Amino acid sequence: MKQVDINGLSVGFVQKGEGQALILLHGGVSDSRYWEKEINSLSKRFRVISWDAPGCGKSDVPPKKFSLADYADTLDGLIDHLNIEHLHILGISF
């Protein structure tokens, strides 16, 4: 698990494989471990990134008034940090 600072929050993520970027988004009461089996399989074809959303897993707990837009901005910050220009996203839940 790697850590990066995005807008003042420490965000944890796993990255494995090469090729086109594929970001995996877990459900609301989970973390990146939800995708463990898929990461191993998908990383044979993609550069797979699975984050711990703010408040989950190894990521910092966000401020009380953290909106869905703030989650999106944090994900965008991670995408920028990883220098990803084109990507696929696979997610569940919210």
DSSP letter at 79? H
User: For residues 1 and 67, is the Cβ–Cβ distance under 8 A?
Assistant: no
Would you kindly state where each structural domain of the chain is located, as residue ranges? 2-91
State pLDDT tens for residues 55-87: 999 999 999 999 999 999 999 999 999 999 999
State pLDDT tens for residues 48-57: 999 999 999 9
Query: What pTM does this model have?
Result: 0.92
Superfamily grouping for domain 2-91: Alpha/Beta hydrolase fold, catalytic domain (3.40.50.1820)
Contacts of 13 (CB under 8 A, 6+ apart): 1, 2, 4, 32, 49, 50, 51, 52, 78
Amino acid, res. 28: G
